[in-house]
Structure 1
Amino acid sequence: MAATDLTKAVDLSTHAEGTGPNRFRRPVYVDFMPPCNSACPAGENIQGWLSHAQAGNYFEAFQTLVEDNPFPAIMGRVCVKPCETGCNRNHIDTTINIHAVERYIGDESINQQWQIRYNAKPTGKRVLVIGAGPGGLSAAYHLARLGHTVEIFEAGSHPGGLLWTGVPEYRLPKNILDAEIDRIVKMGVKISLNHKVDNVLQEKAIGNFDAVFLSIGAQLIHKEDFEHDDSVYITNAFSFFNEMKNNASPFTRKKVVVYGGGKLALYLARIIKRFGSEVAVYFSGDKKMMPAYDYETEDALAEGVDVQLLQKIKSIAKNKITLEKQKVEKGKAVDTGEFETIDADVLIVANKQESDSGFLRAVSGIKINDDGTVVIDANRMTGGEGIFAGGDMLPGENRSSTIAIGQAKKAAKYIDAFLSKVTFQKPDKHPTAGYRKLHMWYQTEAPQKEQDKLAPAVAVKSFEEIIGGLSEPEAKFEAHRCLSCGNCFECDGCFGACPEDAIIKLGKGNRYKFNFDACTGCAVCYEQCPCHAIEMIPEPVNLSTDVK
């Protein structure tokens, strides 16, 4: 056999097992969990909406997508893409550009003004959502799909949470955010802005709400303990976002230090770079401890942001910041006793986000941690009866919009069960179809369609969106790169390969069935199925029929 032949050599010592006068095993069609679906924090049926995109039916792709995530245009831009890390195509060439196809579908839905297709019978139940960030909006959306009446109380002047205040326009244009929020409002969800909740139980009683979902995020910055004079202007990340809207001059053409290692710190640094300032990011840990993803750091470096690791602020005096070098011991950054000083005009602290949840202390049973995060049980409920929580205000969670959206979707199911006085049972999940399960006897020459991207030297001159979208042909091509891992996509491979004509086609969308009166159990169908949608099982006994 040629060295370049992708087809594995047949093992004749086992291949004949089950053939002959007696069949000892038989094929069955199975469904596995695609690794992209499994990795998605929002629980999207990625393989499902990609299949509609392959057919050019973007409306159905949109409807399948929004069953789980109401923000395809937003998440197609800001998601950290764990689905692409899990994509089996990485073992062949490069991942499917999933987020780019999602963005195309989302943008098309905005351009075509598609509305959400759902049919929910009103339940008569009312739910209060506190916080109009991605988690709160997602919870409201999913609860509305279930037929509940939902109101959101938002302390700020605009819905969106950190998507509005913290994600720059070069990453997420405001008109895209507004368009997808507006779609939720059109479903009947009411948003009350500038409505800060101080007493949850009182608001619940006044509004006659049957349940509450808390999603206030983590928009406080932990106060750093170091000595300082007034020579350097000191502010924190969220104060900066408010200040720059009215007056960016304190941050323009200055020497600015951003203290923190998350994507929030890098967003800030890149914004300030666009103000013509010299900016450096300092973080007390090493690269492994840095919360930001590598690509976020690389983008900041490409735009001229200086990133320094293992540096901890000790004091500030006379326009100089004194830093103590750190070293990592047993996974923690510790002091070394070595110091250096740097010049600075401005310090923006963007380290250690906390949740402003002090108002919940009046509610009996709710446990609040030192950083303001709240504790929930297995039903996503706090210690307060009928009060649920999700998003950045939960402890031990990686903070991202996608995670918040997924948590809110889960919470909506538990809230619905609570309102219906039943117990929500999580459905069983299929095993994941890892690459080793696939029978890749072929290979395609299908390089990934990459998105256009502004050169860093051009990008820093404005807040224009840096990464462009795919065209329709590119989005369809990218969708066609999907391997349909673990699920039949009706390629007719088994139908054509069966030497006994034992496979019956049931028509488009209905897959196939086996005629076990003709099947010999040779496993040719199983061996050729590239996506592992067929499994061989031991021959059952005492069956009433053999056509299945």
Structure 2
Amino acid sequence: MRYGIPEYRLPRPVLDAEIARIAELGVRIVTDHVVQDLLVEQTEGRFDAVFVAIGAHLSKKVDIPARDAGKIVDAVSFLRGVASGERPVMGRRVAVYGGGNTAMDAARVARRLGASETVVVYRRTQEQMPAHIEEQTDAQSEGVTMNWLRTITSVDDTDLTVEIMELDDEGRPHGTGKFEKLAADTVILALGQEADTGFLKSISGLRFDDGVVQVDPATLMSDVPGLFAGGDAVPSERTVTVGVGHGKRAARNIDAYLEAAPLPPKTSKPVATFDSLNLWYFGDANRRSQPQLDPESRISAFEEVVGGLSADQAGFEAARCLSCGNCFECDGCLGSCPEDAIIKLGRGHRYRYDYARCTGCGTCAEQCPVNAIEMVPER
């Protein structure tokens, strides 16, 4: 998070506060320690379980002929260097080769470092681009231009050569033999990332597919008992949300593994659909937008693009929560029941139904704003 996500998307004080919360729980964090043999570390540390969450910090390579290899940098190293306080000299014109979120980050960071012309070169179409649409939109609003259906074939002193691509009937790009020149002082390669799982390859029984560890999707435990893995190190969508979610899921399953007890089964309530809600109950409420920097202000510094909420805004947004499918004790059912069949049990304890009095008229369910009450036929 610190070295792969630019500060304009994840302010460092926020990240520091989150890490501090974890440390305050009693978690011991050891840095600057290279693990060469995981099983030896586990034995010497007397650990009963291991969770591997090493991320994907290796840039995929591509062989591009270049007169000056120094003008070609990989996006991971570039972003890490900037996050560490470096301000590399890139020149006025920067080309980013790739179409993922990392490519968008590299292009937007280059603009903030002073590049007046930044272009993303991608071999497929915009519709095939793996970057999130909001990332593309934000990059373009900040002055990044997109060059679709192009692939870099060589890099010279002041420019690069790209081949124009076209899609076949199956949507795959193929070269046309037609070439163009693009001016570029620096080329940033953002062609994907890989997990550095080499130190795990010697562990007997551990399976890999395309360099990532194979685990049980439900428990995140590998074929080696006690060895769990998650995030970018396993087959998954490589986002912070998924990585954090894997950490929570693994923690629950590691606890169950250590206790030699199965996890309690999850109980899922029926989904409260939009049509089942009575939105009239909440009146009219217009959503207040979060503050955002205008594009010109964004590229002048690394300030957070989408700001947080003020105390008033946070309170307003929390009050808008419909609590879909969950009773929040609005007392609507209590007031609507003509037979006094609903008994309030006190704040936080909801209600009890006196079925001897209930006539099944359904007024409680009809007015419930969040579909917490459902009428079912008697058997």
Cα distance change on mapping 1:289 and 1:394 into 2, 3 Å: farther
Q: Which residue of 1 aligns with 2:18?
A: 180
Q: Which residue of 1 aligns with 2:205?
A: 365
Q: Which residue of 2 aligns with 1:383?
A: 223
Cα distance change on mapping 1:296 and 1:528 into 2, 3 Å: same
Task: Specify every segment of 5 or more residues in structure 2 that has no aligned partner in the other structure, as ranges.
Answer: none
- What TM-score does the superposition give when structure 2 sets the normalisation length? 0.93
**Kept after mapping to 2: 8 A contact 1:232/1:347:** no
Q: Kindly tell me the number of residue pairs found equivalent between the two proteins.
A: 375
Q: Which residue of 1 aligns with 2:104?
A: 266
Corresponding letter in the other structure for 2:16: D
Q: 1:522 aligns with which of 352, 356, 361?
A: 361
Q: Which residue of 1 aligns with 2:245?
A: 406
Q: Which residue of 2 aligns with 1:345?
A: 185
Describe how 1:505-544 pairs up with structure 2 within 5 A. 505-540=344-379
> 2:321 aligned with 1:490, yes or no?
no
Corresponding letter in the other structure for 1:274: R
Cα distance change on mapping 1:426 and 1:286 into 2, 3 Å: farther
Deviation of residue 441 (structure 1)? 4.5
Deviation of residue 215 (structure 1)? 0.4
Q: 1:198 aligns with which of 36, 43, 61?
A: 36
**Kept after mapping to 2: 8 A contact 1:232/1:316:** no
Larger RCO: 1 or 2 (CA < 8 Å, sep 6+):
1
Task: Specify every segment of 5 or more residues in structure 1 that has no aligned partner in the other structure, as ranges.
Answer: 1-162, 541-548
> 2:184 aligned with 1:354, yes or no?
no
> 2:315 aligned with 1:476, yes or no?
yes
Query: Which piece of structure 1 moves more, 253-262 or 326-335?
Result: 326-335
> 2:254 aligned with 1:415, yes or no?
yes
Q: Per-residue displacement from partner, 1:307-333 (whole Å, max 9, x unpaired)?
A: 222222223234332222334446643
Corresponding letter in the other structure for 1:449: R
Q: Per-residue displacement from partner, 1:190-227 (whole Å, max 9, x unpaired)?
A: 11111121110111111111111000001111112433
Deviation of residue 339 (structure 1)? 2.8
Q: 1:487 & 1:368 partners in 2: Cα distance? A: 42
Corresponding letter in the other structure for 2:246: Q
Q: Per-residue displacement from partner, 1:511-543 (whole Å, max 9, x unpaired)?
A: 112222221111111111121111111224xxx
Cα distance change on mapping 1:526 and 1:330 into 2, 3 Å: farther
**Kept after mapping to 2: 8 A contact 1:286/1:309:** yes
Corresponding letter in the other structure for 1:339: F
CA RMSD of aligned residues (A): 2.0
Q: 2:69 & 2:329 partners in 1: Cα distance? A: 69
Q: Which residue of 2 aligns with 1:223?
A: 61
Q: Which residue of 1 aligns with 2:47?
A: 209
Q: 1:308 aligns with which of 141, 147, 151?
A: 147
3-state SS of 2:212 partner? coil
Corresponding letter in the other structure for 1:203: E
Corresponding letter in the other structure for 1:530: P
Q: 2:202 & 2:132 partners in 1: Cα distance? A: 38
Corresponding letter in the other structure for 2:225: E
Describe how 1:149-188 pairs up with structure 2 within 5 A. 163-188=1-26
Q: Per-residue displacement from partner, 1:413-463 (whole Å, max 9, x unpaired)?
A: 111111112233441322222213324445622111112222111121112
Q: Which residue of 1 aligns with 2:138?
A: 299
3-state SS of 1:339 partner? strand
Q: 2:359 & 2:188 partners in 1: Cα distance? A: 71
